[in-house]
Amino acid sequence: MEKEQSEIKKIIESLSPNEVKLIPHLKEGNFEKLFEKTGMNKTAIVRSLEFLSNKGLIEIKTRKEQTVELGVNGLLYVKQGLPERKLSNLVSKKNSLTLAEAQKQSGLNENEFKASLGALKKRALISLVNGNIILSGKKEELVEKSLEERFLESLPKRLNDLKPEEKYALESLKSRREIVEVKEANMIEFSITKLGEQLVKNDFSHSNMIEGVTPALIKSEAWHGKKFRRYDITSPVPKIYGGKRHFVNQSTDYAKNIWLEMGFKEMTGNLAVSGFWNFDALFTAQDHPVREMQDTFFISNKKAKLPDKKLVDEIKKAHEGKIKGSRGWQYEWNEADAKKVLLRTHTTCISAQTLKKIAENKEFPAKYFALGKCFRNETIDATHGFQFNQTEGIVVDENANFRQLLGYLIEFFKKMGYEKIRIRPSYFPYTEPSLEIDVYHPVFKKWFELGGAGMFRPEVTIPFFGKHVPVLAWGPGFDRIIMEFFNITDFRDIYGNDITKLRETKFWSK
């Protein structure tokens, strides 16, 4: 008995103010009652209950419970009425009107109008005859609130508490977009233990206990003759997550700093560009598959303004095989295709635009890099997405050579943390020679392809400089590097933005 009283005394001396607020109401075992009677927020109540459980004063259980709540459209319809309410009010006044008149006068969009017709026909309130809406029910039935409207006004509700007619209304509304949602939540239940019952009988007033040391307390010497509350250093406490940049931004910032340290300037450009800069300036044939709608996001009803006529004419000559030493693509170049607007499929279009500036400013030698988003018409799955990040670079120097290109790439990827790098021959329409870059994953024991590089062909450089100037160029994808570092196996998780996952994701560090 004496041992038990000593234990209770220690517990009393360790209770926080929030725990003390809960203790008088623990016997009720009802979470909502705690919320009503203490005025504490629910997060503070949950944490305090966990602390009381750690002290052996209560036992906590959680159970899954489904609730029916208003969706985005449901919140709107509770205020403004369901779409069929607007249509039923209109029909009750007119008795008969055409489908076109009804949609126009009700102000409903096509989907809402169709849903409203279905709902009223289902209740046998209207008929459709030769493109006309005819009132077939009683006007009183049109005016009174429907079962679905009354159900929406009663939400939220527990799924298990629904009456048969409410279940019917739920099934009717679930087939319609974002009106109702069935959510699953963890419900907390607790019961007081024998130790807890003993503690409730005691005086646990903290009037003579000090919660913390402050400068004012020390100066006033008010701590004399008082006890400090015992701190429980064994109980788990909630995790604290410090603020940090999104892991994709951490990764791209790191890569950008590497290029800057290597003496490169950053180049930027728009996400939406013309076919001229994305394809034609890079000597990509106008009948190449990448220029089809199946691979590229084109922006309809938009035409881009092309740069100065001299450059356009030179690009045209390159495609038609009218520059020295090139057969071109053996077709008649079409300016209309070049004016099409699209979301850039690679950041190499920025390199093309930068070549124009370098030529105009006679900036030799020049070193530029870019790192940004690109877009391609891909089916989204675990390994593909419609957007991805690419790191781009060019070196313009009349003395540049292929060995220097290898040196830049090897140095960059070593700084990114890859020790084993492999270079393979490849092909791209606008570079010759061309190569692919692979890096070795030490954990998975396999090679990963990261992207391509090469030296721009004369058909790319001559239109800008009037002669062939060696240009080293590369544009490997960057998202695979991100996935490898953060152990991401599903490409969609890069852009998922699940707050729990983001909090637990490690910080980028190489």
Strands (E), 86-232: 96-98, 126-129, 132-135, 157-158, 180-192, 209-210, 227-228
Among 282, 278, 356, 291, smallest CA distance to 319 is for: 282
Task: Check if the beta carbon of residue 19 is closer than 8 Å to that of residue 151.
Answer: no
Task: Check if the beta carbon of residue 475 is closer than 8 Å to that of residue 347.
Answer: yes
Structure tokens that stand for 321 in this block? 């095989």
The Cα-based distances of 89 to 114, 143, 176, 450 in angstroms read 16, 7, 21, 62
Distance, CA of 449 to chain centre? 26
Residue with tokens 């493109």: 131
Model pLDDT for residues 235-281, shown as the tens digit of each residue: 677 788 888 899 999 999 999 999 999 999 999 999 999 999 999 99
Among 380, 387, 382, smallest CA distance to 489 is for: 382
At 206 the pLDDT is: 53
Q: Same CATH fold, 249-269+346-504 and 83-145?
A: no
Task: Give the whole-angstrom CA distance, residue 123 versus residue 84.
Answer: 11
At 354 the pLDDT is: 97
Architecture of domain 83-145: Orthogonal Bundle (1.10)
Task: Write out residues in the chain with pLDDT < 70, as ranges.
Answer: 1-4, 204-208, 235, 510
Q: In the chain, where are the structural domains located?
A: 2-57+193-228, 83-145, 249-269+346-504
Relative to beta strand 132-135, strand 96-98 is antiparallel
| Fold (topology level) of 249-269+346-504 | BirA Bifunctional Protein; domain 2 (3.30.930)
Q: Number of helices and strands (H, E) in the chain?
A: 22, 18
Structure tokens that stand for 231 in this block? 């701190």
DSSP letter for 264, please. P
Distance, CA of 185 to chain centre? 23
At 3 the pLDDT is: 61
Task: Give the whole-angstrom CA distance, residue 435 versus residue 48.
Answer: 61
Task: Give the whole-angstrom CA distance, residue 484 versus residue 506.
Answer: 13
What is the SS3 string spanning 365-377? CEEEEEEEEEECC
Model pLDDT for residues 12-25, shown as the tens digit of each residue: 888 888 888 898 88
Structure tokens that stand for 171 in this block? 């099934």
Structure tokens that stand for 197 in this block? 């019952």
